[in-house]
Amino acid sequence: MKLLHQLNAAFTGLILVVMTVTAIVLYSLIMDLFIMDEKRQLEMRAELLVDILNDPDRLTQSPEVSSLIQDQNYPLLLFDTSSEELLFHTLPRGAALDWVDRYEEELTGSDIWDSGYGQYVITDHELRGDQVLVMATPLGDLAGIQMNFVWRMVLIFILGLLLAAAVSYLFTRKLVTPLERLKQEVEKIEKRQFRDVEPVRATGEIREVEQSVRQMAGELERYIRTQQQFFQNASHELKTPLMSIQGYAEGIKDGVFEGEKRDRGLTVMVEEIDRLKKIVNEMILLAKLDSNEDIYHPERLKISEWTGRAADRLLPMAEERGVDVEVTIRDDGYIQADPERFLQALMNIGRNGVRHASSRIRITVEKNGEFLIRVSDDGEGIDEEVLPHLFERFQKGKNGETGLGLAISRAIVEKSGGTITAYNQETGGAIFEIRIPADG
């Protein structure tokens, strides 16, 4: 069953249950209300009659007595309790005599009298001496009024139910229509028709879901495009060393390279194999970092200690290129990061700086709510065309190696809850900034 029909059925069922319970309660109360109202009217008429009967002058002159007595809607009887003599009655004689006989035992103070001639709503008043006036209304008359009221109430309930069902249909359709549209847009995402995804007019939580779906579509499109570029770049990067290895291997096998050429070819093959191993290992590491595998184990690290370790490991490469490494710790403290991976991220950025520096790289650490690690060099800076894509995979600048180092650094920093950016200095050279939350 579709959601629209389910919601309509649920809402209509709820209204039906509420109306049924209300009808049952009202039905049980209506007769009590009618009896109370009828008894009140009987008492008013009885009090009027008692006043007239107790006043001899008024009794002979007032036309109200005859009109009340002749009103068949108000049966009455007048009798003497001491002699059990029936003085006057407009009830059937048998019912009147039955009431006189049973008055002392059952009738006094009752609201409903059940005689062999039917049920009555009654009220009784004492007159002069031992005389008693009893006024009554047949309960059947009230039952007829009750049924008339019930049928009207049923008609109102049916109309209310139909109106509620119509309102429910309108509101649920307004709710479900955006969901149906959203389903169509999700099907486009399933078919990878990302550019065909259109906004859906909605409100409230559905609007938030719609925005999330469109954001997801954009992220999926970007991810798929990135993966395609990654595989293209990976195949290219792997193909180059493989062709070199294949060429030298076939040449040595066929005897084309002998002596010194063969040794040089074997050296190239070993270097290309090492390069392949490095590319494959870095690709595996990136894949593991992206897949949330359990390879990242954060600990509480003192930032000055691990920044110093990274600088120490950069010294051999820096001395070989004639580059000075300066470390300035303006603020110290602790962060949460995986020691090995965090050191690897700093090393990748540091090596990149050493490769592009003219004479110096500088590593500074300061704290302003979070730690800011800045690695700057005095080289030529980053090409403006490369800068927007610097942290993407296989994006190599001048003198780059595998094109994966900075991508790995970004993945590690983001795993630590931080961010990494890069930009050029106005005076020349590039700056890499790592912002990472402080631990305490």
Per-residue tokens: 438: 């402080």
pLDDT of residue 436: 92
Q: Which of 344, 376, 328, 210 is nearest to 278 (CA)?
A: 344
**Stretch (H or E) spanning 328:** strand 324-329
- Distance in Å from the first CA to the final CA of the chain: 55
DSSP 363: E
Q: Whole-angstrom Cα distance, residue 245 to residue 243?
A: 5
Q: Which of 337, 341, 409, 333 is nearest to 370 (CA)?
A: 333
pLDDT of residue 373: 93
Q: Which of 333, 322, 377 is nearest to 352 (CA)?
A: 377
Q: Count of alpha carbons within 13 Å of 64, Cβ hemisphere only?
A: 13
DSSP 93: H
pLDDT of residue 43: 77
pLDDT of residue 60: 47
| Amino acid type, 364 | T
- What does each of the 440 residues of the chain score in pLDDT, given as a tens digit? 565 566 667 777 777 787 778 777 777 777 777 777 777 877 777 777 777 666 655 544 445 555 555 554 567 777 877 777 777 777 777 777 777 777 766 555 567 777 666 777 777 777 776 778 887 777 777 777 777 777 877 788 788 778 877 777 777 767 777 777 778 888 888 787 877 777 777 777 777 887 888 888 877 877 777 677 667 666 766 777 788 888 888 888 888 777 888 888 888 888 888 888 877 777 777 777 776 667 788 899 999 999 999 999 999 899 989 999 999 999 999 999 999 889 989 998 998 889 889 899 999 999 988 999 999 998 888 888 888 878 776 666 565 566 678 888 888 898 888 999 998 988 888 999 999 998 86
Per-residue tokens: 279: 């590319």
Q: Whole-angstrom Cα distance, residue 100 to residue 133?
A: 11
Per-residue tokens: 105: 């035992």
Q: Whole-angstrom Cα distance, residue 297 to residue 255?
A: 51
pLDDT of residue 127: 75
pLDDT of residue 59: 46
List CB contacts of 341: < 8 A, sequence separation 6 or more. Answer: 296, 412, 415
> How many beta carbons lie within 10 A of that of residue 411, not counting itself?
22
DSSP 103: I
Q: What does the buried/exposed string (b/e) look like for 277-306 if buried means 16 or more CB atoms within 10 Å of the residue's CB?
A: eebeebbebbeebeeeeeebebeebebeeb
pLDDT of residue 376: 92
pLDDT of residue 61: 47
DSSP 195: G
Q: How far, CA to CA in Å, does 54 sit from each of 42, 50, 132?
A: 18, 6, 12
428 and 325 in contact (C-beta within 8 Å)?
no
Per-residue tokens: 181: 């549209």
